[in-house]
Structure 1
Amino acid sequence: MDQMTESPFFSGTRGGLRRGWDAKETDDALNLSIDMPGLGKEDVRVSLEQNTLVIRGEGGKEGEDEESVRRYTSRIDLPEKLYRTDQIKAEMKNGVLKVTVPKVKEEERADVFQVKVD
């Protein structure tokens, strides 16, 4: 299957980045920015479940109508060999969740073996 359609950042129906998402990968980290208007940090949960980053948010209920509740759920696979999943940081500010997932440096990866060239 096409990697682009499997990516959690892309919408299969529109073929572009999910609305409200910004994902930037640098040499040092994967940086996510997710718009979650109407939610505060007490409404958002970020967890790691078997190398899958799970982002949940719920809040903003207006009145008795259950459908007016804002809900967000996303799951992002993070290969343990590529990311330092024990060092994930998240910050919620002004309705935007920013998540930073540090990367494992190539020379520190267990599956990379440097061969000496003679």
Structure 2
Amino acid sequence: MASKAVMSAPTFITKLVRLNAHHSHPHASPFSFTARMFSTGPPLRNPKHNDPNPFLRAGELGPCRVEKTENECFMRVDVPGVAEEEMNVWTESGFVYFHAQGSKIPEYNYDGRVFGGSIKFDPTRFDSNGVKAEVKNGVLWLSVPRLKD
């Protein structure tokens, strides 16, 4: 004898559509709530794009950003798991280099991440020897001052 808790497929779908009618926008697809409810992965920020971090809900998508202002050039680089004392920043021939090895966590069998890169600055416009670097909450902030005309 079948259990009374088991419903037929049409009854189940009818109940989902009714549930959806109470929880969704009136112009949405009748199965949009159902699809979200039974999704195995996290909801995407924007389903039209393949986000590099599906767990990010707000903020910048990319792992780095470079922005120039009147007085300096800022560079933001995501370096999760890196402390400020693990970050090395140096300059050479108009380049600013950075390198870091993230902390190892043996109990999770995690060797840490390695980060590194460089950015070239025009020596007639920027003072790459005056670079300031700071790591805050897993983000490297580099600031390179502009030269005065």
What is the TM-score with the length of structure 2 in the denominator?
0.54
Which of 69, 94, 99 is equivalent to 1:26? 69
Which of 114, 119, 123 is equivalent to 1:71? 114
Which structure exhibits the higher relative contact order, with contacts defined as CA atoms closer than 8 Å and separated by 6 or more residues?
Answer: 1
Aligned-residue offset at 1:64: 8.6
More strand by share: 1
Residue-pair matches, total: 91
* 1:57 matched to 2:88: no
Aligned-residue offset at 1:79: 1.9
Check whether the contact 2:95–2:128 (CA below 8 A) recurs between aligned residues. Answer: no
Task: Tell me the distance in 2 between the aligned counterparts of 1:54 and 1:40.
Answer: 17
What is the TM-score with the length of structure 1 in the denominator?
0.67
Runs of 5+ unmatched residues, structure 1: 1-17, 108-118
Aligned-residue offset at 1:86: 2.4
Offset from partner CA, 1:15-44 (integer Å, 9 cap, x none): xxx931021111111101111111101110
What residue is the counterpart of 1:36 in the other structure?
A: 79
One-letter amino acid matched to 1:89: K
Runs of 4+ in 1 over 6 A off after TM superposition: 64-67
Task: Tell me the distance in 1 between the aligned counterparts of 2:139 and 2:82.
Answer: 9
One-letter amino acid matched to 1:71: V
Aligned-residue offset at 1:91: 1.1
What residue is the counterpart of 1:89 in the other structure?
A: 132
More helix by share: 2
Please, what is the CA RMSD of the aligned residues?
2.5
Runs of 5+ unmatched residues, structure 2: 1-60
